Amino acid sequence: MNPIIKNMTQHVSVRDFKDETLSQETKNELLLAAQSGSTSNFVQAFSIIEITDKTLRNELADITVSSPHVKKADTFYVFVADLHRQATILEKHHQSLDSLKNMESLFVSTIDTTIAAENMAIAAESMGLGICFVGSIRNNIQQVADLLQLPELTVPLFGMTIGVPGIKNAPKPRMPKKNYVSKNAYDADSFNDLSEYDTTIKEYYANRETRKQDATWSDKNLDFFKEIHRPDVAEFVKNQGFTLE
Amino acid sequence: MNPIIKNMTQHVSVRDFKDETLSQETKNELLLAAQSGSTSNFVQAFSIIEITDKTLRNELADITVSSPHVKKADTFYVFVADLHRQATILEKHHQSLDSLKNMESLFVSTIDTTIAAENMAIAAESMGLGICFVGSIRNNIQQVADLLQLPELTVPLFGMTIGVPGIKNAPKPRMPKKNYVSKNAYDADSFNDLSEYDTTIKEYYANRETRKQDATWSDKNLDFFKEIHRPDVAEFVKNQGFTLE
């Protein structure tokens, strides 16, 4: 296994950062890595907003609730799925924006943005930095859009904290191959045969250093999805101009 | 710049592959890299289907139309946004599936799946392999789902061809920082000030080795979004059980 892949297999989300500052050169490399990935039809449908203002950072951290590292991390980026550039170009030429508003275009911009973010994550980890995706900005996605003054056809998908890692957990065991890889057709029987993996996760939670618990992977999912999360996201997306059609 | 980031900046989509076979060990490393990335609340909401059957591969390639490399590449994976495991767990415990069906959960599974795919892409390129995201499976997303026997709460987002690169183009120039990075708020004026980048892209298309053309980035986007693409995607997603609410 080469060092790049080895590095990827060591990934853990880091939520505890040392009080060290990233240089502008480091940030420039992260931003370059982010924009170097694949992009559907070269549309580059994402923007990245760095949150350097303390007040704004705290307001965003309060929205995330469970993510105090948003306040403390040296660097915090918000990743925005973004078709506003295309809207501006089309409007300038008196063209309809309908092609930007459908579900297909929302997928394109979501996928482009996530590719960019994961590139940044791997680049950061390759420098020994730690990262955490912060999906919890979607706890109040409208407020995030207001705070960042997002125009139509943009969606703030997630944030990313980046810094020099303090406490770093061991990687969590992922699903066995039989639970997520199949050949030529979806293999529901194999994917849903989670007993082996449930045992692995139960042992992992029972034996890890901190926040020990008694739960399988199935238990955790059952518990998590017992309630509906972020029911306002669809309405927000529609307010931004996407028709979800 | 370290070799990992350097490698990322050299990314180009590869659509021409040599007639060489990837070992199972190589594929296992790619699949391991794919599952090692971040995942929202550890839900791991993706599956990967390898297409080894020749007939099936050709049927999928015909759907993609513009992607003949789907027929020829040694390895072809389809990436599926997947909340079916969670549905099975919830059903077993007589719980409602509503929490899986909303827009928030569709974002979660789309983002998880794309993180996995980009990890695989970077892992493949780190071994000297070439990759191409194949979004054009969405040309007929219902047929893809039928061919792969996808159950409810799954969406085939894109494929990925992987192999030993034949012809490899030079990387395309990406947007200047002022067009995709801002501080503390969305900067529409700066993001839409595309004149410099339009010139860069015009020169790139005029001078590249093959398929020379006379177009700016704005021209290309104007042309591409003059028509509505894949208007059936939303209906398909709803048929799969997502409410888009």
The residue whose two tokens read 């063209």 is A95
Mean pLDDT of B127-132: 97
Using the 8-state DSSP alphabet, how is residue A17 labeled?
A: B
- C-alpha B179/C-alpha B2 separation (Å) is 25
Rounded to 10 degrees, what is the CA torsion of B228, B231, B237, B240? -160
- B 106-145 residues with CB below 8 A of A? 107-108, 110-111, 114-115, 117-119, 121-123, 126-127, 131-133, 135, 138
Mean pLDDT of A8-24: 96
- B 1-60 residues with CB below 8 A of A? 1-5, 7-9, 11, 13, 28-29, 31-33, 35-38, 40-44, 46-53, 56
pLDDT digits (tens, 9 = 90+) for A33-61: 999 999 999 999 999 999 999 999 999 99
pLDDT digits (tens, 9 = 90+) for A206-234: 999 888 999 999 999 999 999 999 999 99
pLDDT at B84 over 90: yes
The residue whose two tokens read 């995942």 is B39
Q: Do residues B144 and B156 make contact, with C-beta atoms less than 8 angstroms apart? A: yes
Continuous H helices in B127-187: 141-147
The residue whose two tokens read 């020829």 is B72
Q: What are the CA-CA distances from residue B34 to residues A9, B30, B66 (Å)?
A: 9, 6, 26
Instruction: Judge if pTM exceeds 0.90.
Output: yes
By mean pLDDT, which of A31-35, A129-133, B66-70 is the weakest?
Answer: B66-70
Mean pLDDT of A147-175: 96
The residue whose two tokens read 């983002």 is B111
Mean pLDDT of B120-138: 97
How far does A97 lie from chain B, in Å, by closest CA? 8
- The pLDDT of residue B68 is 82
Residue A208: other Cβ atoms inside 10 A? 13
DSSP letters for A89-121: HHHHTT--SHHHHSHHHHHHHHHHHHHHHHHHH
Best CA proximity match to A179, nearest among A160, A201, A163, A211: A201
**Residue-averaged pLDDT of chain B:** 97
pLDDT at A15 over 80: yes
| Cβ-defined contact of A4 to B9 (cutoff 8 Å) | no
ipTM of the complex: 0.98
Q: Do residues B99 and A226 make contact, with C-beta atoms less than 8 angstroms apart? A: yes
Report percent pLDDT > 90 for chain A.
95
- The pLDDT of residue B18 is 96
The residue whose two tokens read 């191959």 is A177
Best CA proximity match to A114, nearest among B32, B241, B172, B45: B45
Query: Domains of chain B by range and CATH?
Result: 3-169 (3.40.109.10), 171-245 (no CATH)
- The pLDDT of residue A137 is 97
- The pLDDT of residue A209 is 85
pLDDT at A163 over 80: yes
| Cβ-defined contact of B135 to A108 (cutoff 8 Å) | yes
- C-alpha B240/C-alpha B104 separation (Å) is 15
Closest residue of chain A to B49, computed from CA coordinates: A182
Q: Do residues A24 and B181 make contact, with C-beta atoms less than 8 angstroms apart? A: no
Closest residue of chain A to B85, computed from CA coordinates: A192
Best CA proximity match to B76, nearest among B68, B66, B85: B68
- C-alpha B201/C-alpha B124 separation (Å) is 28
pLDDT at B210 over 90: no
The residues near B15 (Cβ < 8 Å, ≥ 6 apart) are B67, B68, B69, B132, B161
Mean pLDDT of A75-93: 98
pLDDT at A12 over 90: yes
H/E element holding A156? Answer: strand A154-163
